[in-house]
Amino acid sequence: MLKTESQTIYNSFGLRIESYIPLPELPLSEEHTHLGNEKVTVTMKDLTSLWNEFAQTDEYFTVRDNQVLIRVPDTAIFCIRNGESIIVSPYEGSEEDKIRLYILGTCMGVILMQKRILPLHGSAIAINGKAYAIIGVSGAGKSTLASILLNKGYKLLSDDLIAVTLTQDHIPMVMPAYPQQKMWQETIDQLGMSSTDFQPLFDRETKFAVPVPSRFCEHPLPLAGVFELVKTETNAALEPINGLVRFHTLLQHTFRSFLIERLNLMEWHFSTLAQFANRMDMYQLQRPSSGFTAHELAQLLLNTIHKEEL
C-alpha cells in the first residue's frame, strides 16, 4: 500500500516537484536547479466522492473545471488540477510501482498540457549539444534505438514522455526528465543484458526500469530534429518528412493526444505545432519488421545528423 512521507523536492521536466509520495526515479532538487521553475505538488487524498460526483459517462476519464480525473481499476484514482497538483487516491492492495508509473506518465503528461508545454511520446537523446526526438507508436522500438545511441556515448534527456517548451523566439527546447529507460525483456536480451540486474516496472511485468545515471543530460537543449520510427516490410531506410506531413506527424505523436480536445486545448496545440514544425529537421526512420536492425538504424540516424551539421 502506498504510504506518504515527508515532502521531498525533485527537479524534472523543467518543474519543481514537491511530493509527499516517494518518487525515487526523479533527480533530487538542489536549490539552484529549481529557481524560477513552476511548482507541482503530489499528495494523497481520498477521491472516491469526487469521482462519483464528476464521473458520468466515462468510467476511466472525466474532465471538469480544468481538472482531470483518471480511474485505473485496482490501482488508484488520480486528480490533476490546473497544472499545479496531482492528487492520488490508491485502492486497497494497489501496487506502489504501478501508481508511480501513472504519476510520472499519464498524470505528468496532463500537467504539461495544462501548463501549455507540449508532451511528445518518445525518447529524446542529446547529441553534440542538441536534442533529437525519436517518436513512434508503442512497440516501435524507440527505447531500443535510444539504448544503442547511449551505448555510443550520447546521453538521455527523456524516455517515453518528452517535454518541449518554446522560447520567446519560438525555438523548441527539450526539458530533461529523469535518468531511466523502460525496456521489454526482448530488448534487454537483444542488447546482451540481463534482466536480473533490473527491477520490473511493477509486479509480474516483463518490462523493466533501467537506470542510466551516468548517461543522463541534466540541462535543457534545443530540439534540432525529430525521427519518426515506423515498422516496414522492406529494408531499413530513412526519408525526409516535408510539408503538412510534419504537422500531422507531431500531432499523431503528442502524448495522450485524445485528451487535448477534452481539455479545450485544440487551438493551443495547433498553434504550438505550427510555430515550430518547420524549425527543425524531420525524418521517417523505417525499421524492418523482422530481424534486429537497431544498430543499422542508429547509424542511419547519426549519419543524417552529421550531414546536417556540415
What is the per-residue pLDDT across 181-197, written as a single tens digit (0 to 9) for each? 988 888 888 888 887 87
What's the average model confidence in pLDDT over 214-219? 95
**What domains appear along the chain, each with residue ranges and CATH number?**
8-114 (no CATH), 118-309 (3.40.50.300)
Among 36-50, 51-65, 285-299, the range scoring the smallest mean pLDDT is: 51-65
What's the average model confidence in pLDDT over 211-220? 94
| pLDDT score recorded for residue 195 | 79
Among 17-21, 102-106, 292-296, the range scoring the smallest mean pLDDT is: 292-296
Which one, of 38, 37, 18, lies nearest residue 28 by Cα?
18
Confidence at 57, pLDDT banded by 50, 70, 90: low
Q: How far apart are CA 306 and CA 55, in angstroms?
A: 51
Counting every residue written for the chain, the total comes to: 310
User: Residue 79 pLDDT more than 90?
Assistant: yes
Four-residue CA torsion sign, 254, 85, 205, 177: positive
Contacts of 37 (CB under 8 A, 6+ apart): 11, 14, 15, 16
Residues 151-177 pLDDT 10s: 999 999 999 899 999 888 888 999 999
pTM (2 d.p.): 0.92
Residues 223-242 pLDDT 10s: 999 999 998 888 888 999 99
User: Residue 85 pLDDT more than 90?
Assistant: yes
User: Residue 9 pLDDT more than 70?
Assistant: yes
| pLDDT score recorded for residue 183 | 86
Count CA atoms within 13 Å of residue 97 on its CB side.
10
What average pLDDT is seen over the chain? 89
Helix or strand run (H / E) with residue 18 = strand 15-19
| pLDDT score recorded for residue 31 | 59
Contacts of 283 (CB under 8 A, 6+ apart): 225, 226, 227, 228, 238, 239, 240, 241, 304
Q: Which long-range contacts (CB under 8 A, 24 or more apart) does 64-72 make?
A: 66/114, 68/110, 68/259, 68/263, 70/102, 70/106, 70/107, 70/110, 72/98, 72/102
| pLDDT score recorded for residue 100 | 94
More confident residue, 1 or 249: 249
Residue 183 grid cell: 525496456
Q: How far apart are CA 132 and CA 49, in angstroms?
A: 44
Residue 238, helix vs strand vs coil: strand
| pLDDT score recorded for residue 199 | 83
User: Residue 308 pLDDT more than 90?
Assistant: no
Q: What percent of the chain has pLDDT over 90?
A: 61
Q: Are 125 and 154 in contact (CB under 8 A)?
A: yes
Q: What percent of the chain has pLDDT over 70?
A: 94
